[in-house]
Amino acid sequence: MTDKTFGPFELLAAHKGDVPADFVARRRIAAAMQQLSERLIRAEASQADLEHWAGTLEQLAETVGTPERRDTRAANRRMFSGAATAGDIFDMMDFDPAGGLSNPISPPLTWIKETPEGVEAEVYLGMHYQGPPGRVHGGVIALLLDAVLSRAMHAALKIGVTGTLNVRYLNSTPIETTVRFTARLREMDGRKMFIEGGVFAGEEQTVQAEGIFFQPRFGR
C-alpha cells in the first residue's frame, strides 16, 4: 500500500493495483458465496442438510449484524478532487453488482483488454445465472452489457450515465462456459456517446448491444 491518491481518470488503473488487505478477505467472502450459490442450484440434498445449511447462514447473518458502512459519497468527492485513496477506489469499484469481486451477487468479470479503443472481459457464468435450460439468462446478459459498455466509456476517459440500452439477442449464450464481452465507444455527438458491444461464445456472436450514454452538463 502507498499513500498515492487518485482522480476520476485513474479509477481503472488504481483498481488494478495492490489489493488492500481487507479486500482480500472481502473477495474471499464473495467468492465463497458465489460458489455456494452455484452449487445449491437444484442441489440434491436431504431435508436435514438443507435446514442445517440454512441455519448456519442465518447464524452468520446474525453474527455479522448490521455494521456501519463506509461512505462512498465522501470517497466520490475526494476522487473528483484527485484525493481518493486506494481504499476509496476499491470501495467504489469492488462492490459493483456487475463485475465487483467483493459483491457476493456479482458475476466475476475478468478484464482482458481496457484501452480507449475498446474493452474486453471474460466471464464464466454458472448455473445460478441460467435462464432457459443450458443458456445464460437474457437479463443477466443485459446486466453485464450495461457494465461493459460503461467500462468502455471509462477506458476512453469519458464519464457519463446510461441514457438507453438496446440489446439484440441473436442466438443463445451457453451457460457453464467462458464467454467474452466486448464494447467500444463508436461515436460522439455533443453530450451523447454511442457505445456498441457484443457477447461472443467462441467465435460466434450471440448478442449485439448499443448504449447511448450522456456526459454530464458542466457549468450550468
Q: By CB under 8 A, what part of segment 169-208 binds its own copies?
A: 169
Residues 38-57, interacting with its own copies (CB under 8 A): 39-45, 47, 50-51, 53-54, 56-57
What CA–CA distance (Å, rounded) separates 187 from 213? 11
Return the range that interacts with its own copies (CB under 8 A); candidates 5-13, 109-117, 164-172, 197-205. Answer: 164-172
Among 131, 154, 158, 201, binds its own copies (CB under 8 A): 131
Which grid cell is 22?
481487507
Beta-bridged to residue 2, according to DSSP, are: none
**Quick check: 195 and 186 in contact, CB under 8 A?**
yes
**Quick check: 80 and 6 in contact, CB under 8 A?**
no
Say whether residue 60 binds its own copies (CB under 8 A).
yes
The helix/strand/coil state of 173 is coil
Q: Is 79 exposed, middle or buried (0-12, 13-18, 19+ CB in 10 A)?
A: buried
Return the range that interacts with its own copies (CB under 8 A); candidates 109-117, 156-164, 176-184, 198-206. Answer: 156-164
Q: What is the largest CA-CA distance in the chain?
A: 63
Among 164, 187, 189, 218, binds its own copies (CB under 8 A): 164
**Quick check: 197 and 152 in contact, CB under 8 A?**
yes
**Quick check: 106 and 100 in contact, CB under 8 A?**
yes
- Give the shortest CB-148-to-its own copies separation in angstroms: 9
- Give the shortest CB-153-to-its own copies separation in angstroms: 12
Among 1, 13, 83, 161, binds its own copies (CB under 8 A): 161
Residues 11-40, interacting with its own copies (CB under 8 A): 21-22, 25-26, 28-29, 32-37, 39-40
